[in-house]
Amino acid sequence: MAQPAAAASRAAPPAVIDGSAPTLHPEGVAWDPSRKSFLVGSVRHGTVSIVKTDGSTRTLANEPRIVFTIGVHVDARRNRVLAAYADYGVGTRSTPETVQKQAGLAIFDLETGRTKHLVDLAMGPGPHVANDFAIDRAGNAYVTDSTSDKIYRVDTRGRASVLVQSPQLASPIGDGMNGIVWHPDGYLLAVRYDAGVLLRIPLSRPHRFEEVRLDWPLVGGGLVLRPDGSLLVVSNALGQRLDGAGSVLRTRDGWRSATTVGESAPWADAVPTTAAVSPYGTYVASGRLDLLVAGTPTDRFTLRRW
């Protein structure tokens, strides 16, 4: 007997979604409650795509001015999907004029995928690579730049400013600030990829940021703040080794210090990058960026439940 449509729409996704799309190579992933599906970006094509539970994909947003999309988040309250965009030189639209020079935040209509705003974040001398971002309750976005010493703020009207600038945010090898989350108590948590340092950045006084005391470094770093208050950190060392790991951290002092309370290492899929919280659990993305960087792109990617 066929399953009723209403019941089918409530069915949980499988524990592992084996995705397939022509050389998509997603880095970022988000849960879309309006479709009960995942959305992913594309380091190869600069798109945002819908991923169904059977792993099939459909393009939602395809803005030709964007080289590639990294972090992706859904703001369902405002009918928006947002994506950080940049160019590492491996996209089909990469040019000498855009490699590590294009950096910004794209804002699309969640229902149609139509471009609402492209917010330029290549502020000051380069290079620039907008990486990930967090959205607060009011809809403001906070965007990391992996190759500069800045974190940006973009308001709901698309106006950009520098939230905080410091040498401590910069990496000498160009793998600086990466994952970032907004905490409802009024601060950001952000990780520096190369050093494994987690920073606590108060929004009222962002220049007064401090390093969170950890039991070991979080090298790599996609961050997800889960509904139970724990922080999931997805780690990899792209270009150094293929294995990755997931760690769960908890705090007792408002994220001035944190302790690892769970770990999965090595992760089942090579080079995991970040994760998304869904009503059915937290799903970790592996878009096989290692193969793309090596010049052997693939059509396969994985979303795996933690």
What is the domain partition of the chain in residue ranges?
A: 15-305
Give backbone dihedrals phi and psi of 291, rounded to 5 degrees, phi first: -70, -40
pLDDT digits 0-9 by tens, 54-94: 999 999 999 999 999 999 999 999 999 999 999 999 999 99
Residue 5 reports pLDDT greater than 70: no
Other beta carbons within 10 Å of 70: 27
Mean of pLDDT values over 131-150: 97
Instruction: Give the whole-number percent of the chain exceeding pLDDT 70.
Output: 95
pLDDT band at 238 (very low <50, low <70, confident <90, very high): low
Nearest to 304 by CA among 249, 251, 246: 246
Query: Is 239's pLDDT higher than 60?
Result: no
- Has residue 109 got a pLDDT over 50? yes
Average pLDDT over residues 6-15: 66
**Average pLDDT in the 128-138 region?**
97
Q: How many CB atoms within 10 Å of residue 112?
A: 10
Q: Of 217 and 108, which is predicted with more confidence?
A: 108
pLDDT given at position 8: 39
The per-residue pLDDT for 4 is 43
CA distance 163 to 184: 17
The pTM of the full predicted model, rounded to 2 decimals, is 0.93
Residues 122-129, mean pLDDT to the nearest whole number: 91
Q: How many whole angstroms separate alpha carbon 278 and alpha carbon 267?
A: 19
Confidence band (pLDDT; 50, 70, 90) for 257?
A: very high
CATH superfamily of 15-305: TolB, C-terminal domain (2.120.10.30)
Residue with tokens 């190869």: 44
Shortest CA distance to 120 belongs to which of 171, 161, 73, 165? Answer: 161
C-alpha span between 259 and 193 (Å, rounded):
19
